[in-house]
Structure 1
């Protein structure tokens, strides 16, 4: 992107609505409640023929530095420092407030280009607020409606005038041609029976961090980044939006998503919290590997187990992080107890990798990332058809399928139809009659014999075709 733009303003003036309009997606949470946005959220914006990087910020409020509002203000000021230009959004419908005057003075002191944006200009009675905006001394305001998309051409012209045409349209700006064309092997495609593709160590990895409120998710990501990128504090439920950050770990690009804490469904009553949880669920579906953060001081609450089960049902690769390990007095005994509980309480994820970490001190972060990489490698694993059928013959010999209604079931052929997570198809007689206990036997055998710990395994059973079925119909 040629330049970076920060959207700033007091709470509830429509900053996140404008952000969603410019990125073309509903990435940021939008609600009538003031102060929905707390962290700064980056995105790739496009305005007519203009492309740039944009940052959504929290609404600026006057507050002491140690308060939550004060820490939100620090995040916004960091975004202004990072950006080349600021879009100062005011509410034309409501008019100016003293907070707008204070923010205008702060932007003037920064000495960077500012575009004054009068949002909600489509509303009746907004003319007074639009003309009041001239008194801020930041030039002529640009009237827009972020909700309805009005005034976007004027906003484009104002940004180009403020940043300069050379910066807005760099000559070496090439068209987007580097399209990721990696595709998974199509289901049912012909392949060599002994073919097993290698794991791509250079491919960027998407990781979501989830868990209960106040488990230390944002603190953990800040420690990975080495900076206070995400808003943290002792208050539970600070994070609302799913914020993505990028960094490199041992030469590999990691895109990590911080998510809002997930409480029990019965306790989630407010609309805003429901939106935050839904945003977190979207992050899980978009991610490849999910790190579930446990509070080591109160681990394995019912909600912890439900979050792990949700991640596995979505088919994601899962890793457990026992955070706040610096608060544990007897680490060896507690770790042995946690490993025993992991095996006992999460039988559907047998062998899941669990790492003790501390977001405050940075302990165990390299081990956690190595566990993430190893789990992703397992999640992408493909097993050749020849190996699977040799294994299927062996497990049937050791433990044949049971007879149902006096008729023996037979498993004839097996192949892997997909990865991410590993999915297998078994051709057999009477698939509907196969007992659940024997399916678990096959699943556990695959997990143990092919080293597939901690990832979901899907097995689909299909009746084999009867070559004489059509002839039987003709005789009738």
Structure 2
């Protein structure tokens, strides 16, 4: 019996390419999971908040089942699927009605029969005559009648709803005990950079882990969580879409996004890689703090700087984490070289926080979350207008703006228009003529005086309202 405070959890399972991610997207009402004709796109367990008519639940999208139990990538994917089944109250077992029942479907059915979790058999892609003929072979699986579905077109959802309710009630579970629980998952909300988001301490802090392929992003997330939640291994590119995991750290709810490795654009060759890159960029947009993970042995490369530049462009708080620190021979030289490159190539976020760690051994990982919260606080920084203008007067007196065409440029007044990231409006005569070097001087001063090191700081120039000023 499900406890009063336990939200229903459903797992979508089946062999590769039967439409699990399509059904997942249908149930959560958003395109959170990558969908492609290539088998095996999904490799990690993805979780979302689903709804089916009046039924509310958490739902897991799982990797395609392979009948192997070794330490290969397929074996690791199978263990993730088995864990999702164990963690669920009900399993939606999909098979491809157009392809009919396969030996792999039968092998998976044997595994499910050993589990105590109730199963709803679903014949997906059952639209049309061919699909209905293939669905008729469901009796071979031995898990009762199949619900005929088309996850892509939304057909059969009412039948699925009724079957799920029947299965749960047969187990003594009230399907509607949690109808009003929880807020809408915000992972699919559009981000508007011109609208300030007021911090809600009840909402999870969104943190994305990004970087080049095979630098240890999934291993780091597993180490932070203290469990093998994501598939890891020596193969590059194991993570293909952005996986979010909600977890609590020192009483604060955190939503962690593990993302696909971003390669140079010229090397992104397949449609699937393009989808993965787009998914990673969306995760950066929805995150509030981004951890750029770098392989400390290989050092910082141009692609790392490109990724960092994209994070800054999106206005996110950024932390650099050096992984595999235990394999570095000269710690001091490596750290000095990295910080020099960051200062040269990313001057717009001077003073980026750098954390050294080893996801493999766990050393230094405990420094990461305190750094995340510090970066988040600086990203949310608000400066009172009076204090801001006292600073502006001192800064312009110490280093006056240049004269252009024989006339002095005069910054007059500054106010903060939003946080997240800190954004300021500077009112002055002839704003279009203020050199970029002077804007950098003001930005660096703001960052130093008001403790915003490492955070993007934006200054927008506005013309004075006084039409007689300096004319």
Aligned partner (choices 116, 123, 140) of residue 118 of structure 1: 123
| Aligned residue number for residue 340 of structure 2 | 340
Q: From the superposition, tell whether residues 175 and 262 of structure 1 become closer, same or farther in structure 2 (CA, over 3 Å).
A: same
Once residues 202 and 371 of structure 1 are traced to their aligned partners in structure 2, the CA distance between those partners, rounded to angstroms, is 20
| Aligned residue number for residue 49 of structure 1 | 54
Once residues 187 and 79 of structure 1 are traced to their aligned partners in structure 2, the CA distance between those partners, rounded to angstroms, is 39
Q: Check conservation: 1:145, 1:151, Cα contact below 8 A.
A: yes
| Aligned residue number for residue 474 of structure 1 | none
Whether 2:254 is the aligned partner of 1:254: answer yes
Q: Check conservation: 1:199, 1:381, Cα contact below 8 A.
A: no
Q: From the superposition, tell whether residues 78 and 310 of structure 1 become closer, same or farther in structure 2 (CA, over 3 Å).
A: same
Once residues 195 and 121 of structure 2 are traced to their aligned partners in structure 1, the CA distance between those partners, rounded to angstroms, is 57
Once residues 46 and 224 of structure 1 are traced to their aligned partners in structure 2, the CA distance between those partners, rounded to angstroms, is 30
Q: Report the Cα offset of residue 276 of structure 1.
A: 0.6
| Aligned residue number for residue 99 of structure 1 | 104
| Aligned residue number for residue 80 of structure 1 | 85
Q: Report the Cα offset of residue 347 of structure 1.
A: 1.8
Which residues of 2 match residues 27-176 of structure 1 at below 5 A? Answer: 27-164=32-169, 167-171=173-177, 173=178, 175=180
The SS at the match of 1:164 is helix
Whether 2:330 is the aligned partner of 1:330: answer yes
Q: Report the Cα offset of residue 170 of structure 1.
A: 4.3
| Aligned residue number for residue 430 of structure 2 | 430
Once residues 366 and 249 of structure 2 are traced to their aligned partners in structure 1, the CA distance between those partners, rounded to angstroms, is 9
| Aligned residue number for residue 12 of structure 1 | 17
- What runs of 5+ residues in structure 1 fail to find an aligned partner? 181-185, 190-197, 470-476
The SS at the match of 2:130 is coil
| Aligned residue number for residue 277 of structure 1 | 277
| Larger deviation, residues 331-340 vs 24-33 | 331-340
Once residues 467 and 332 of structure 1 are traced to their aligned partners in structure 2, the CA distance between those partners, rounded to angstroms, is 56
Deviations 1:28-78 (CA, angstroms, capped at 9, x unpaired): 100011111100111111111111111111111123521111111111111
Q: Check conservation: 1:199, 1:377, Cα contact below 8 A.
A: no
Whether 2:387 is the aligned partner of 1:387: answer yes
Larger Rg computed on CA atoms: 1
Q: Check conservation: 1:104, 1:138, Cα contact below 8 A.
A: yes
Q: Report the Cα offset of residue 114 of structure 1.
A: 0.8
Q: Report the Cα offset of residue 161 of structure 1.
A: 1.2
Q: From the superposition, tell whether residues 188 and 85 of structure 1 become closer, same or farther in structure 2 (CA, over 3 Å).
A: closer
Once residues 340 and 276 of structure 2 are traced to their aligned partners in structure 1, the CA distance between those partners, rounded to angstroms, is 33
Q: Check conservation: 2:10, 2:59, Cα contact below 8 A.
A: yes
Deviations 1:356-411 (CA, angstroms, capped at 9, x unpaired): 01101111112111111111100000001001111111111111111111111111
Once residues 119 and 200 of structure 1 are traced to their aligned partners in structure 2, the CA distance between those partners, rounded to angstroms, is 40
Q: From the superposition, tell whether residues 202 and 113 of structure 1 become closer, same or farther in structure 2 (CA, over 3 Å).
A: closer
Once residues 173 and 69 of structure 2 are traced to their aligned partners in structure 1, the CA distance between those partners, rounded to angstroms, is 37
Once residues 187 and 287 of structure 1 are traced to their aligned partners in structure 2, the CA distance between those partners, rounded to angstroms, is 16
Q: Report the Cα offset of residue 103 of structure 1.
A: 0.7
Q: From the superposition, tell whether residues 178 and 147 of structure 1 become closer, same or farther in structure 2 (CA, over 3 Å).
A: closer
| Aligned residue number for residue 3 of structure 2 | none
TM-score, normalisation: structure 1: 0.91
Q: Report the Cα offset of residue 176 of structure 1.
A: 5.0
| Aligned residue number for residue 457 of structure 1 | 457
Once residues 178 and 32 of structure 1 are traced to their aligned partners in structure 2, the CA distance between those partners, rounded to angstroms, is 33
| Aligned residue number for residue 415 of structure 1 | 415
Once residues 123 and 325 of structure 1 are traced to their aligned partners in structure 2, the CA distance between those partners, rounded to angstroms, is 56
Once residues 184 and 323 of structure 2 are traced to their aligned partners in structure 1, the CA distance between those partners, rounded to angstroms, is 38
Once residues 7 and 202 of structure 2 are traced to their aligned partners in structure 1, the CA distance between those partners, rounded to angstroms, is 26
- What runs of 5+ residues in structure 2 fail to find an aligned partner? 1-5, 186-192
Matched positions, count? 455
Once residues 148 and 51 of structure 1 are traced to their aligned partners in structure 2, the CA distance between those partners, rounded to angstroms, is 21
Once residues 110 and 184 of structure 2 are traced to their aligned partners in structure 1, the CA distance between those partners, rounded to angstroms, is 43
RMSD: 2.2
Q: Report the Cα offset of residue 2 of structure 1.
A: 3.6
Which residues of 2 match residues 161-240 of structure 1 at below 5 A? Answer: 161-164=166-169, 167-171=173-177, 173=178, 175=180, 204-240=204-240
Q: Report the Cα offset of residue 430 of structure 1.
A: 0.3
TM-score, normalisation: structure 2: 0.92
Once residues 127 and 320 of structure 2 are traced to their aligned partners in structure 1, the CA distance between those partners, rounded to angstroms, is 49
